[in-house]
Amino acid sequence: MKKTAKGLSVFSLTMMALGSVIGGSFFLGSAISLKNAGPSIVLAYILAGIIICFILFALSELTVADPTPGSFQKFARREFGKGMGFIIGWIYWTGLVLALSSEAVAVSTFIKIWFPNLAIPIIGLVIIVLVTIINLLGTEKLSFLESCLAVIKVLTIFGFIVFAYLLIFGNQIDLVDIKNQAFMPNGFKGLSGSMLIVIFTYAGFEIIGLAASETANPNKVIPKAILSTIIILISLYTLSSLAIILLIPTNEITANISPLVAAFDYHNITWFGKVINFIMVSAILSTMLAATFSLARMLRALAIDGFAPSFLKDIGDIPYRGIIFSGSAILVFFSLSFVLPEQIYIFLVSSSGFTFLFIYLIILLTHKKFRKKTGCPQKGSCQLPFYPYSSWISIIGLVLFMISMPFVKGQGSGLLAGVTLVLFYIFIYFLVRKKI
């Protein structure tokens, strides 16, 4: 693939990462973790942030040493063989397609509030086609739009934090008495269950690795983008969560309303709820744009390795075939949400949660084998701090999160679906391995 002369900057890559990470899982899904963990949710965001930080720096170290298209898929193949490269690439692609089909349903539901006469399937069709077309315009145009949408999301959360703390420290409202709230209202089980959901709110950062080959100077851009991303995410998540638990008792939070909205509604400040619907739409669209970018790059890497049909192999700057194929796949699974029985569709989509944990575990294992074999990479210094302890802490943490999935309501099917997806691609690999 020919590299663009200018390439992605630290700012544009950071914005793409934030666009991919900050989505509906934070604006809406965080309500479940807040209710389960109570005030200890702040601890959950910090602990999860530390683990994600270690994973990011492990990926950074691998990427700076070899900014090849395909990122962690290529690294896994190099360290563990063709089978791992095939399995990890297709699991990532499939899990992300399933997640985006679910996001398309969610964003269509929000938009229908504004256009009640439009059917959700029509809205979803338009959204998926639009996301696909924007990706076809190229990295520079996509990164500009993604940066704008990401800035809207970041400024919204930042605005919430500023306004919330003005109310808190300005003595304009009656604050929640944290002393009368249990730090862990549902015990350690509630905290561990929330850790799983919190990890998902950080998911999507791997786009930094997949976009590495489209930066002008990966050695400088990647580490800076990763550091910026993790600092912004941990700061926004912890400060907003702390503000929420000071503004509203966590037992008053419900899963069907954003906790950011609920915190202000509790004090009869209702205008924020009207604004947040637009923000959630832009947040999900931003996530879909960035994720489609990742899908196309992964598909191109698989095709180059011979792990995908040859007609998907792109050699130009823009992977047109991968974008169109991925967009079509999202549209197919989006359509299945209206055709398949609800429980079957939910079972399929729930595998996407396991997918991210599995990918991150493989990244860490790949890094450990890489470091054991080569030591610090020749290009640049070691990126992962406190190695090997940080590596083992992250690996053990991810394994514990996977094991705890059945103990979290609604996540048992996610573990089963995820394991089924892994076994499916192991089976497919053994069927086709002689041809690749």
- The structural domains of the chain, with segments of one domain joined by +, span 10-435
DSSP string, 285-353: HHHHHHHHHHHHHHHHHHHHTTSS-GGG---SSS-HHHHHHHHHHHHHHHHHTTTS-HHHHHHHHHHHH
- Rounded average pLDDT over 306-317: 85
Q: Say yes or no to pLDDT of 374 above 50.
A: yes
Give the position of tokens 């929000």.
110
Output 100 or 24, whichever has higher pLDDT.
Answer: 100
pLDDT of residue 184: 81
Burial of 173 (0-12, 13-18, 19+ CB in 10 A): middle
pLDDT of residue 6: 60
Rounded Cα distance, 227 and 49, in Å: 12
- pTM for this prediction: 0.87
Cα–Cα nearest to 44, from 226, 184, 180, 207: 184
Cα–Cα nearest to 354, from 305, 272, 288, 425: 425
Rounded Cα distance, 361 and 384, in Å: 15
Q: Say yes or no to pLDDT of 379 above 60.
A: no
The 10s digit of each residue's pLDDT in 255-274 is 778 888 888 888 888 888 77
Q: Say yes or no to pLDDT of 295 above 50.
A: yes
DSSP string, 46-61: HHHHHHHHHHHHHHHH
| Rg value, the chain, Cα | 21
The amino acid present at 269, given as its one-letter code, is I
Pair of tokens at residue 115: 């256009």
Output 119 or 177, whichever has higher pLDDT.
Answer: 119
Domain 10-435 in CATH 1.20.1740.10? The answer is yes
The 10s digit of each residue's pLDDT in 138-157 is 888 888 888 888 888 888 88
pLDDT of residue 405: 78
The 10s digit of each residue's pLDDT in 208-230 is 877 777 787 777 888 888 888 88
pLDDT of residue 380: 52
pLDDT of residue 5: 45
Q: Say yes or no to pLDDT of 394 above 80.
A: yes
Q: How far is CA 123 from the centre of its chain?
A: 23
